[in-house]
Structure 1
Amino acid sequence: MKWPRRFVFVLSVFCLPCAVRAAAEQNPPAEPGMAGEELLFQDIGSVFTASKFEQKVTRAPSRISIVTAEEIRQYGYRTMEDILKSLPGFYSTYDRNYAYSGVRGFSIPGDYDTKILLMVDGHRINENVYNSIFTDHAFILDLDLVERIEVVRGPGAALYGSNAFFGVINVITKSGRALQGPEVSGSVGSSATYQGRTSYGNRYANGMEVLLSGTYYDSKGEERLYFPEFDDPATNNGIARDMDGTSNGNLLAKAEFKDFVLTGAWVEMDKQVPTASYQTIFNDARNQTTDGRAYLDLSYLSSLSDTLRLSGRIAYDWYGYRGDYVYDFGEADGPVVNRDRSDGEWWTAEAYVTWDFFDNHRLVAGGEYRDTTEQSQDNYDIYGTYLDVESDIDTWGIFAQDSFSISESIAFNLGLRYDYSSQADETINPRTAVIFTPSDETSFKLMFGTAFRAPNAYELYYDDDGLSQKSNEDLQPETIASYEFIAEHQFDRHIRSAASVFYNDIDDLIVLTTDPADQLLVFDNVGTARAQGLELDLNGRWENGWSAAISYTYQHAENSEGDWLVNSPKHMAKLNVMFPLLAENLLSGGLEVQYLSERLTLGGERTDRSLVTNLTLLSRDLFAGLTLSVSVYNLFDDTFAYPVSDAHVQDSIAQQGRTFRLKFDFLL
């Protein structure tokens, strides 16, 4: 998709719901049908994503976390990265260009979050070149538009196919009724950071719902970043000045009517790169990346009878990337800007049925097809073209899952999916779970599942003719076999707990490495890896407005030689507390404390432990329609660093100190 076509896409995203709204207002009132996945909003104790139908969390064949819109607001979460790293078993890495999510001991430097499947209202967000999900400011949604987030740990390939390796995340957006009119929002923060949003939502007499929203974000970033690896007069004594800027814009349009939901979304992020990655010139402001993502999705959900329901969707997706990297080849003309470019376009069709039969069986069966229409990678500068690759990786899969009980306390979940890729051939992945609920307060789950992650176009075909990286078309899919036991108990109506023990066995792990023969980066299958661990968490919620969650995770991930994996903290402890300060919700607080133990770097060093505290004060209805919040992140200015990939000279990169944000929301 070229830039003019992108403008047409964005325009159509906004025009379509307006046209449908006009038609809806002319129709007589009717009772609303089951629009999209509206059922997800009914019960915070239920989850849809784990089995493709709504069920109690205690009956789901996975370890589940649910994040609500209220928690997003009360804790001052700015990005998906903020949300995920607050959850048991998750952690993050940031290399001053992109943010990456780790889960249960795995966040391999150089991997663009390919082992997590991220969806928005059931629509796959992983793009078709790098399979990245973008948990930073390149995420396709403004978090103010999120109703809830369902996080399903463990392999989900038996339902969702590739990328559902360590888990599946489904972000559920708000409907028009959540706004009931126009709303504006704005924020200002550290490092000259500004954000503004304008939204409109409504539900009409005939059941038609419309949500329209646009957001713009701009941040100058850190004015001065020091990298000791470049501490030399020739490289500005290691100081990157005014090199950390970020800007992005995103749009969302959503129309729901009866059994149909039409959604269009778009985002674009520009990010300066201060780290001189890929051997570029240090402290040159021309080093920057641009990532864009868009989709148009029409979904359908209808109850054909009391026991049979049909779901389907057809969608168009686009992804675009531009990277400008400045090199000095010693030519008389001086440094030159090398342009890296990727474009992806694809269509998706999906359909499945949910059928209740024999009183105690629920069958989910269906299929999915993704057709690639563009998958290109280019690299060039004024001296020539070093990469010009067009690939075409199409995939399809069929799946079936039976959830049934043999008594009031014993239930089974059996699932199987067959996937075919034009590049990686075929694979079959099962999932089995036995769920024992001796009482309404207690459940035990024993689970086994496998998953795969096919190598993506970037890993297979990227070769810039000896500049920094070469291709490996012999890559094989990486696979995982996972075993997990979960115990959950509700002590009373205020306090619940969960404990899980897991073991993951991975084969043909794909890792970005450096070939010692030519010092070029290359992706390779490096053999096996194993991870085992324990997750404990305790949650409480009381009528007086207090709520708290405390968790501890132990995880140990190692390669086939028994060596500790890079970027894998062994211990994580987290505390979240929401508390009232004034009556009538006039003022409340949200406190987060996150401890992570040391991590191993690629160079064999160990990063320092980190203890980060975040605090948000929130005032609702300061006056009619106005909500105001102030957040301080890394309250005690803890100093810590994250390991990074071989693309950097740095072994680890220091992270942000104390920052603040002041935010308002005003419902007109």
Structure 2
Amino acid sequence: MGQNQICRYLFVIYLFFLSTTTRAQSVLEHVYVGQFLSYDSKLEPEISKKAVDRLKARLESLQYSVEILPASSPEENLKRVSKGNLYISGFYRRDKATGKLVLYGHIYNSEKGILIDAYNSYNEVQGLEEIKDSLPKDEGHQSDESVLEQFVQKIVLSIRINKNKLERRENINEYVLSNPISKRFSFPVQKEDIKKSTEQVFNLLQSQVSTASTKTEVRTHDAPDLVSVISDKELLQFGRISLNDVLGNLPGYAPSQDYDRSTVSYRGMFEGWNNNHLLMLVDGVQFNDNLYGSAYTSEITPLNMLKSVEVVRGPGSALYGSNAMNGIISLNTISGKDLNGEMQTRARVGTGGTQIYDFRTGNTGKLFDYVLSYNSYQTNGNNYKDYDGSGRTDITGANAKFAVQDARSNYYLFTKLEGKDALEGLSFQYHRQYWNFQTGHGWLWAIPDYNGPMSEYRDIGSMKYKNKITSKLTHEYVLQYQNHSIDWNTRYEPNGGSAGFYPAGVTEYLKTNGQSMFGRAQLTYDLGNSGSILAGVETTRFLYTGDKSHYANANLTDAADSYPPFPNNANGNLGPWLAWIKNKPVWTVGVFGQMVSPKFFYDKLQLTVGVRNDQTVQHYLGIDNPYSGFLGFPYAPHAKRVFRKTSPKAALVYTITRNLNLKLMGGQAFRTPSITEMFGANTFSLASNPRQLRPEIVRDYEAAIDWYLNQYVNFRVNYFIRNFQNQIFYSLQNNNLSTNIYSAVTNGAEAEINFTYNQISGFINYSYAHRLSEKMLDKTVSASQNEMTWAPSHIANGGIRYQTSKYEGSIQAHFQGTVYRRASDFGTIDTTTGILQSDSRLQYPQYRPNYVRNWTNVDVRIAYHLTEKISVGLFASNLLNNQQKLIKINNFPFDYSNQQRQILVDLNASF
């Protein structure tokens, strides 16, 4: 056989193989194309016809077999598609600002019945629009034909490079799940990957959404506030235990402590035990405590029930009323559909006797979805020896050290029902929050000589209904009941305390409670183009009916004789803990409104204005005013205090480019003095001041830039001026009386970078605060004009986390700058001149330095997934075991200490 003949045979074989391959391809590569539907735009049938015709022509030119399907939903058309083939459908609309055509394409795998790829032309249209002024004439004005051509090329290319019909999750996240179209239409995304998908979408920075900022859904980028959104995945992977851990890694916030309570300072203002000036929301409903008015951000509020946390920095009283001064913490809880019948368990066990156990489950039903979660926490606490404020000495005559009592435990039970079908919009929640604690350095700054059990609990039940009246109008109603119970056995003085005045020390026992009812009615009207109008009314009724038990071994009502011990140190009954308001309800009513304008000026500007008026009416018994009228009352029976505050807010968001926003914001917030600050009596735990105590007020003015450098990196920077008036502390100089201490003006700047790319994400931020001026209201505390005291000027945070299918790890660091003291922290000052009269630093030994030194904390977590449902990890807090001091204000020989190094084994399992 000659060479030419061999070549001919080989050529024939090649042609046969090629024709066979082509025939196979024509059989296997069969593509179905559905009609394109109008989305948020008028009908233009010619657009759909052109898109379908061009797709058909381009695919057929590449040897694909194409079949056109009628206009229908993806689910219906997928039933018509032969198994193993692709189905393409899509939408079209006109951009309202530019009139440009926008096309959406979705590619489905018929064998699995799921979306596997997607694309839309919105980014290209917007990109050209933004730079059109720098382009030659008409080049930036993209025609319909050009949009269609580019769109068809992208869709066909997506099909050709995905021969194995694999799911391209990144495109689905970007073009569907993080796009407003996903809220209008339902897309069949791979069911077993929904949770993972949701987490990935959540981590796309540009798709983060806030509801706490305006009570309507808005991208954090466009919100008229500075908002941080933290997913449950981030809470898990960074090893967060409490909301304090979350706040302490955000700009502006820093760890703080007073008495036994861990809290956070904010923008240069020290936070005391009484209240942290934060408002907490749970699924949009106020959740602050009814006795103290505080938001519980320590570990007694667990994170296992959460799907995400939103933190809105700065004033929020224009929408939410009292307490929203330093920000809003919005807790978005998990739903039954998130768990889908799974039982998820977690156990963390480690040093210091720390044990944390989590359980949660939930599922969907015909009329209700349900969730049940439980958390328990137990620790021996931060055990070390320290000085206190009792003046007790050792055998050398120096101040003695005692073991700080910090053991604590708590549990939290949460249940939720969410209505479906005919009950859509109706939900019920029940929370039982219980905590047991010790008093650290002592409630009168004397470390107890034995532990007195201290426990509290809250029962909170709420009902909420939210639904649409029309396509534009939504109504919402909330009812919430809260009962806060106290069971304290408080040890104030040790045996022989106060130079022997109390031979058996001082112990007070209190068992009491306070109850409140909260209600809200609210209407929201959708103006279109991101605009809305909102109006509502809220009311709260607090009632105290007396104590179940209240006694002590000292007469804590006899101030004239310096609270002497009862004869033989026996226990004697005491009057009501909140005697001022026994059986006298305290009412608060708030009326609020907000307008978020539709975007205007070529969709570049959006204005938000809001205002709220709150009025609290307190009828109380004048127990400080002896009275003997003809009716024989022992004191004036009808005293009254009314607090009225109007809280305005205004913000302007200017879209410089699609990824760059300028925000100008200003607002006022307030805090009405809490029940315990106003009305404590017959006790060493409180000393109240209902006739003179003034509300706290803050005014913030800010300018901010929010910039997406690309889809992976978000940069934000802001400048603020903050005027805080009438801050309330428990005053050392006034026998623990609730007192307005000082007012201060502070300015500063905050900068942050948040980033995410594939399996890596993280954050870096820095905050600076500078004191501009102060006005002292308690003259026994020295002023510190133009110098920051009691809080750090410099704060920095950074963290990074990494995840693969088997491994995950994170590291984070917090830097807290030097904290300076006031002159009155070193001794007694002249109340007229403010000059230090006596200096405790001259005594021997020197118990604490002149300032609190800076420190850095590092936390690390690693985990390994044994299976898809089981993982084991290790978490280390304060890895370097640095000494981390937190300032104790006023003239005491000690500062607080942060937790020493702690190691926890972390086990997660789902069933």
What TM-score bracket applies, with the shorter chain setting the length?
0.7 to 0.9
Measured after TM superposition, the shift of residue 401 of structure 1 is 0.5
Measured after TM superposition, the shift of residue 196 of structure 1 is 2.1
Letter in 1 for 2:767: T
- Deviation string for 1:429-479 (max 9, x for gaps)? 110111100221000010111111111122122244679845353111111
Aligned counterpart, 2:33: none
CA distance in 1, matches of 2:705, 2:267: 18
Find 1:415's aligned residue among 587, 603, 610: 610
Is it true that 1:380 corresponds to 2:546 in the alignment? no
Aligned counterpart, 2:901: 658
Is it true that 1:134 corresponds to 2:296 in the alignment? yes
The 5-angstrom pairing of residues 144-543 of structure 1 reads 144-179=304-339, 180-204=341-365, 206=366, 208-227=368-387, 232-233=393-394, 238-241=400-403, 243-257=405-419, 258-280=424-446, 282-286=448-452, 288-326=453-491, 327=493, 328=495, 330=500, 334-340=504-510, 343-357=513-527, 361-374=531-544, 380-381=551-552, 382-385=571-574, 388-390=577-579, 391=581, 392-404=585-597, 405-407=599-601, 408-423=603-618, 424-464=642-682, 469=687, 471-515=689-733, 520-543=735-758
The 5-angstrom pairing of residues 549-588 of structure 1 reads 549-557=763-771, 558-560=773-775, 562=785, 564=787, 566-580=789-803, 583-584=804-805, 586-588=806-808
Return 207-216 or 303-312, whichever deviates more. Answer: 207-216
Aligned counterpart, 2:567: none
- Is contact 1:601–1:644 with CA below 8 Å preserved after alignment? no
- Deviation string for 1:184-232 (max 9, x for gaps)? 221101111112233221123x363111122222212244433376774
Question: Residue 128 and residue 563 in structure 1: after superposition, are their counterparts in 2 closer, same or farther (change >3 A)?
Answer: farther
- Is contact 2:677–2:687 with CA below 8 Å preserved after alignment? no
CA distance in 2, matches of 1:226, 1:493: 50
Measured after TM superposition, the shift of residue 118 of structure 1 is 1.0
- Is contact 1:463–1:471 with CA below 8 Å preserved after alignment? no
Question: Residue 172 and residue 467 in structure 1: after superposition, are their counterparts in 2 closer, same or farther (change >3 A)?
Answer: closer
Return 370-379 or 267-276, whichever deviates more. Answer: 370-379
- Larger-gyration structure (1/2): 2
CA distance in 2, matches of 1:639, 1:77: 21
- Is contact 1:33–1:259 with CA below 8 Å preserved after alignment? no
Question: Residue 462 and residue 236 in structure 1: after superposition, are their counterparts in 2 closer, same or farther (change >3 A)?
Answer: farther
CA distance in 2, matches of 1:467, 1:119: 28
CA distance in 2, matches of 1:198, 1:499: 39
Q: Which has the higher contact order (CA 8 A, sep 6+)?
A: 1
Return 40-49 or 208-217, whichever deviates more. Answer: 40-49
Q: Which has the higher strand share?
A: 1
Measured after TM superposition, the shift of residue 144 of structure 1 is 1.7
CA distance in 1, matches of 2:893, 2:690: 25
TM-score between both structures, scaled by the size of structure 1: 0.86
Is it true that 1:614 corresponds to 2:614 in the alignment? no
Is it true that 1:47 corresponds to 2:210 in the alignment? yes
Is it true that 1:103 corresponds to 2:266 in the alignment? yes
CA distance in 2, matches of 1:111, 1:368: 24
- Deviation string for 1:365-414 (max 9, x for gaps)? 11111111337688631134165324232101111111113220011001
Q: Which runs of 5+ in 2 are unaligned?
A: 1-182, 186-197, 553-570, 619-641, 776-782, 827-849
Aligned counterpart, 2:63: none
Letter in 2 for 1:364: L
Q: Secondary structure at the match of 2:736?
A: strand
Question: Residue 223 and residue 451 in structure 1: after superposition, are their counterparts in 2 closer, same or farther (change >3 A)?
Answer: closer
CA distance in 1, matches of 2:296, 2:398: 31
Measured after TM superposition, the shift of residue 589 of structure 1 is 1.0
Find 2:888's aligned residue among 644, 647, 650: 644
Letter in 2 for 1:67: I
Q: Which has the higher helix share?
A: 2
Letter in 2 for 1:409: K
Return 596-605 or 407-416, whichever deviates more. Answer: 596-605
Count how many residue pairs are aligned between Structure 1 and Structure 2. Answer: 618
Q: Secondary structure at the match of 2:802?
A: strand
- Deviation string for 1:570-613 (max 9, x for gaps)? 00111010124xx42x1111111100101134615411101000
Return 234-243 or 264-273, whichever deviates more. Answer: 234-243
Letter in 2 for 1:196: Y
Question: Residue 494 and residue 240 in structure 1: after superposition, are their counterparts in 2 closer, same or farther (change >3 A)?
Answer: same
- Is contact 1:572–1:594 with CA below 8 Å preserved after alignment? yes
Q: Secondary structure at the match of 1:394?
A: strand
- Is contact 1:534–1:555 with CA below 8 Å preserved after alignment? yes
Q: Which runs of 5+ in 1 are unaligned?
A: 1-31, 35-39
CA distance in 2, matches of 1:84, 1:535: 14
Q: Secondary structure at the match of 1:285?
A: coil
Letter in 1 for 2:294: S
CA distance in 1, matches of 2:184, 2:402: 56
Return 371-380 or 391-400, whichever deviates more. Answer: 371-380
Question: Residue 653 and residue 137 in structure 1: after superposition, are their counterparts in 2 closer, same or farther (change >3 A)?
Answer: same
- Deviation string for 1:542-590 (max 9, x for gaps)? 12x111211010012452252545431100111010124xx42x11111
CA distance in 1, matches of 2:870, 2:367: 27
Letter in 1 for 2:735: L
Q: Secondary structure at the match of 2:352?
A: coil
Q: Secondary structure at the match of 2:722?
A: strand
- Deviation string for 1:248-301 (max 9, x for gaps)? 111011111121111101111111223133144534222x43221221011111
- Is contact 1:145–1:174 with CA below 8 Å preserved after alignment? yes
Letter in 1 for 2:761: S
Q: Secondary structure at the match of 1:476?
A: coil
CA distance in 2, matches of 1:119, 1:225: 38
CA distance in 1, matches of 2:445, 2:357: 36
Letter in 2 for 1:403: V
CA distance in 2, matches of 1:664, 1:566: 42
CA distance in 2, matches of 1:109, 1:641: 16
Measured after TM superposition, the shift of residue 127 of structure 1 is 1.4
Question: Residue 624 and residue 278 in structure 1: after superposition, are their counterparts in 2 closer, same or farther (change >3 A)?
Answer: same
Question: Residue 420 and residue 627 in structure 1: after superposition, are their counterparts in 2 closer, same or farther (change >3 A)?
Answer: same
Return 158-167 or 506-515, whichever deviates more. Answer: 506-515
Find 1:628's aligned residue among 861, 872, 875: 872
